[in-house]
Each structure stands twice: as C-alpha cells, then as structure tokens.
Amino acid sequence: MVIASVLAMAAASCSGPAAPDPAPVSAKPPKAVAPGASPVGQLANQSEDLDQPGDHYQKSGPPFWVRPGYKVTLVAQKVGNARFMAFDDKGTLYISRPVSKNNLSDVITLRERDGSYWPQAIFVEGLKMAQGLCFHDGWMYISVSQGVLRAKDTNGDGKADVVETILKDLAGGSGHWWRSLLVTDDAIYTSVGDPSNISDQTSTDREKIFKYSLDGKSRELWSSGLRNTEKLQMRPGTDELWGGDQGSDNFGKDYGSGEDSGHSQPITDFYPPDEFNHYVKGGFYGHPFVIGNRIPRTEYWNRPDLLEIADTTIPPAWCFGPHWAVDGWTFYTGKMFPADCIGDAFCGLHGSWNRIVKSGYRIERICFDKVTGLPYGSQIIVGTLSPTKQVLARPVDVVQAPDGSLLFSSDYNSSIYRLTYVGGK
C-alpha cells in the first residue's frame, strides 16, 4: 500500500589575489515560493515509443532525427573533450575541455571560416576541471571545480595574455564536480553538485548556489537543494535565475525485494525527472530528500521532519524525462528561428547512462508562455539516437551564434554542430 501510494503521487511528478572562501553556510531549508510558479511542475513527454517519432532522420549531414523546418550541420570536429561554450564580442568561440593534455583542462578558441569553426589557439591551459564559460565586460570567465578565474586576449591571437583568479579553494573536486557559472553586471553566481548520488550536504557549500561580489570578497547564499546544476542563465528581460538540475539514480532500489541495477529497473527507469528550475533567493529545491513534485526518497522516509522539508521544497517549473541528463542550455534571443521561439530555452540533454532503454540524447525546446513567463510545453528538436538506439552524439551545451543559429557540443565524438531554421526548404 505504501508503494502504491508513493507511486501514485510520483505519477504527477514532472520531468590581486582572490579572497579565501568564507566559512561554509549551514542553512535550514527556507520556506519560499518562486514568484508566479506553478504549484506542480509539468512533465515532458517521456514515452519511449515517441522518443524520436516518425521518419525525420536527416538524409544528408549528420544522420540525426531533426524536427521538420530545422537542419543540423557539422561545423567542427576533432576538438577533444568539448563541453561548454561561449562567444566573445568579436565572434570568437571558446570551448572548455575538462580533459586535455596531461589529464588537465584547457579552454580553446575557434574562429568561423566558410561556415565551419576552426581551432585558433589554446586560450588557457593547465587548469584543473574546467567547466563553465561566461563572457562579460571584455573578460572570459572560467569556472573550475574549486574556483573561478577570468582571462583576456588583448592582441587577437586567441591566447590569453592576462589571467586573474577571482575565487579559489571552493568546495568541489569530486563526485558531481561540474561548477556552474554566471557573471552579471553586479555578481558572480556559481554552484557545485553532490559529491555522490545522494548525500546531505546541508552543512557544506555543496548543492547550493552562491552569489558573490564581482571581486569575490563577499557572498550570500542564493538557493539550496540542488543535485547537479551545470549552467545558469538569466531569463531575458528579467532578473530571474534559471538552471537545469540532474536527477538522482537508483530511486527504486528499496521497493519490494529491490531492483537489479542495470538489468531490471521498472521504477528507477521512470524516476526521478530532471528538473528545470527558477532559482529564487532563499529557495530550497528538495535534494537529496525529495524529488520532482515533493516525492520523498526512501532513504529519508524515517526523518521526523520529512513533511516539513517537503513543504519547503519549490517544485520544478518544468521537468525533463528521467535520466535525460540536462547539461547546458540557452534562452533564444535571435532572429533566425520563428518569432515564437524567442524567450524559449533550448537544452542539451546528454542522455541516460544506466537506463535500460536509452533516453534523452537530444536538443529539447522548453516553450515559455509570453504572458506568464512560465514553461508550458516542450518539443524535441534534435534526437541523437539512431533508429536502433545507437548513440550518434551526446549533446552537452547549447549557445547562440552571432547569426542567430544555435551551436551544440558533443563530448562523445569531439564535435560541434549547428542548428539552423530553414522553414519549408
């Protein structure tokens, strides 16, 4: 009866030197609600039969499933462990590579020529676990697992001439080490994820977003209860902070006699969803105690304060399918795509790693209502599984190019792709 009850609830679930880091913040999950938020996060279509529906595989170019009206082309290859991307104000493309030479990280620059992007130089090298990129006020900011630095190319050769450390000795370095990064006119927002699948990091600096001053000398706790949010963005025209958060594994292991991981996962394969969250100041988002729309994880059923924790949890604004592994994404502001795409989020879903039937592996559009400013639906735009579920690419990040097209990276095959809108062509 307990299992049936919990699953019934879950069915509604949606898918100068830098100053040292201040002491860890220990915060009881605050009771907060995202302004205008839906009380229940909506769920993307996760039917396996509709994952990449119909015969919409490209006949030329990369053999991906592509929504009619769009086209995908390969614009860079053999670029290594390509993860996150950003453009500067001159159209130079920057790519972070967490694993490059001697097991260290670097950031490379590429320039466009004849419709493709060609490596220009190594911008910064010798980093440890490089991840996020954000261009602001003439500087390329780079997050590494335990810090944030910024660098500048002053002569146009693609190599950094000035490198400055802004934050160092932060939490991270293991587990979900990927550090998010967003730099605005007045702040640096950054987070790092759970060191394992699920762990209570209430008394540490993990599973939290902090807002730092631009010089790194002061900070405040912004949001908590994250598992692994790899990229942060402000919704255009607002001061709303958004991010995609990856759900946990092995949700069904304590049901019945327990699931056989990797072989029989009737519950885990469908729970929990990945989340798309509006991160508000003081907001708590559930991890590790509850998933999705306030569904408890079995590991915490015996906590006397579980209902209080659930009551403080802000549900997702939107949910992806389970284990889709949302990584990078961007809000669309260009002119190439149809006007109704403006303000929508285009997301890179890296794809499941231990689900029985592979899922995710796509570029997904989250549609935002232009009146309420809330997500109301989603569409698969590109699918990178073959008709027989073979992996063709694993999307990581999505960025908008100067011409209004979108680029997405794939670390699986060291490639960068361009998504354009061609209408009825």
Is the confidence at residue 118, as pLDDT, over 70? yes
Q: Residues 113, 99: contact at Cβ < 8 Å?
A: no
Q: What is the pLDDT of residue 41?
A: 56
Q: How many CB atoms lie within 10 A of CB 260?
A: 9
The arithmetic mean of pLDDT across residues 1-14, rounded, is 38
CA distances from 23 to 29, 203, 208 (A): 18, 10, 14
Residues in contact with 388: Cβ distance below 8 Å, sequence separation at least 6, in sequence order = none
Beta strand pairing status for 290-291 and 295-296? antiparallel
Residues in contact with 280: Cβ distance below 8 Å, sequence separation at least 6, in sequence order = 32, 33, 34, 35, 223, 241, 314
Among 330, 357, 195, 336, which Cα is nearest to 265's? 357
The arithmetic mean of pLDDT across residues 301-310, rounded, is 96
DSSP string, 163-223: EEEEEBS-S-SSSS-PPEEEE-SS-EEEEE--SSSS---TTSSTTEEEEE-TTSS-EEEEE
Is the confidence at residue 24, as pLDDT, over 60? no
- How does pLDDT run across 131-148, given as a tens digit for each residue? 999 999 999 999 999 999
Q: HEC string of 80-136?
A: CCCCCEEECCCCCEEEEECCCHHHCEEEEEEEEECCEEEEEEEEEEEECCEEEEEEE
Q: What is the pLDDT of residue 37?
A: 47
d(CA 225, CA 194): 10
The arithmetic mean of pLDDT across residues 164-192, rounded, is 98
Among 47, 31, 11, 29, which Cα is nearest to 292's? 11
| List of domains in the chain | 2-19+40-421 (2.120.10.30)
User: Structure pTM?
Assistant: 0.91
Pick 288 or 5 by higher pLDDT. 288
Q: Residues 345, 365: contact at Cβ < 8 Å?
A: yes
Predicted confidence band of residue 42 (pLDDT cuts 50, 70, 90): low
Is the confidence at residue 23, as pLDDT, over 70? no
Q: HEC string of 211-272?
A: EECCCCCCEEEEEECCCCEEEEEECCCCCCEEEEECCCCCCCCCCCCCCECCCECCCHHHCC
Q: What is the pLDDT of residue 45?
A: 59
Is the confidence at residue 27, as pLDDT, over 70? no
The arithmetic mean of pLDDT across residues 106-124, rounded, is 97
Q: How many CB atoms lie within 10 A of CB 163?
A: 14
Is the confidence at residue 12, as pLDDT, over 60? no
Mean pLDDT over the full length of the chain: 90
Instruction: Strands of 280-411 (E only): list them.
Output: 283-284, 290-291, 295-296, 318-322, 326-331, 345-349, 362-368, 375-383, 395-400, 406-410
272 upstream amide cis, omega within 30 of 0: yes
Torsion of CA 268, 274, 280, 281, to 10 degrees: 60
Q: What is the pLDDT of residue 46?
A: 57
Q: What is the pLDDT of residue 100?
A: 78
Q: What is the pLDDT of residue 367?
A: 98
DSSP state of 388: T
Torsion of CA 289, 193, 133, 344, to 10 degrees: -20
